[in-house]
Amino acid sequence: MKRIGILISGRGSNMLALADAVKHGRIPNAEIALVISNIETAAGLERARELGIPTFVHSHKGCTREEHDRAMAAELRQAGVDLVCLAGYMRLLSPWFIREFEHRILNIHPSVLPSFPGLDAQKQALEYGVKFSGCTVHLVDEELDHGPIVKQSVVPVLPGDTTEMLSARILAEEHQTYIEAVALILSGQFHIEGRRIIES
């Protein structure tokens, strides 16, 4: 049984999608071992508790990035976590944490990387005028929104779209794409060549 730890900062809809996929066997032989948030009031924390998933809150205030990450890593290790999934976790991770869980951290980002990394990706896409956007699940390395790409999906940008409309269209894809990416990584049916993830 593979154990998944999920880091959130807010709503947690991707976390819920993963929890649902685990429950229904779309991510086989896995369980959500722990949900961690740096924000005490994150709505996703309450949802996780309702599902009976263990939670841990550790505010990033008043400690260095690495101190914060070491506290999270201790909890993840204690929970026996094999894979860390960032799901709307809105903080950079320290190089220490990334090395500690090398090739075992996934992130979801609401654009087709390498376009529009960083904050407000959907707004960036709309303002740039692209006709398609989407989402990317990638392994986390020490550069922001940068590591090897596991899965991507695209959606059209439609005339009259607001940031909210585009974000909602992308979010629906995020949930499916994240499930597929986690299932692939946990299956081990891939290898990495440079930046490329080759499915077996």
Catalytic (active-site) positions: 109
Q: Is 151 one of the binding residues for ligand GAR (CB under 6 A)?
A: no
Is 147 a binding residue for ligand GAR by CB under 6 A? The answer is no
Instruction: Name which of 8 and 126 has its Cβ closer to ligand GAR.
Output: 8
Residue 164 neighbours by CB under 8 Å, 6+ apart: none
**Interaction between residue 11 and ligand GAR (CB under 6 A):** yes
Q: Which of residues 153-172 bind ligand GAR (CB under 6 A)?
A: 171
How are the residues of the chain apportioned to helix, strand and coil, as percentages rounded to the nearest 5? 35, 25, 40
CB of 93 to ligand GAR, least distance (A): 12
Query: CB of residue 121 vs ligand GAR: minimum separation in angstroms?
Result: 6
Site for ligand GAR in 74-93 (CB under 6 A): 87-88
Cα–Cα distance for residue pair 107/86, rounded to 1 Å: 5
SS3 at position 8: strand
Range in contact with ligand GAR (rule: CB under 6 A) among 11-19, 51-59, 63-71, 96-104:
11-19
First to last CA, the chain: 21
Q: For residue 170, which phi and psi values (nearest 5 degrees)?
A: -70, -40
| Under 8 Å between Cβ of 15 and 45 | no
110 binds ligand GAR (CB under 6 A): yes
Q: Indicate whether 146 belongs to the interface with ligand GAR (CB under 6 A).
A: no
Q: Can you tell me which of 47, 58, 68, 109 binds ligand GAR, judged by CB under 6 A?
A: 109
Using alpha carbons, select from 87, 84, 103 the residue that is nearest to residue 178. Answer: 87
Task: Give least dist CB 111 to ligand GAR, A.
Answer: 8
CB-based contact 191:30 (threshold 8 Å): no
Task: Give the residues lining the site for ligand GAR (CB under 6 A).
Answer: 8, 10-14, 44, 87-88, 108-110, 121, 171, 174
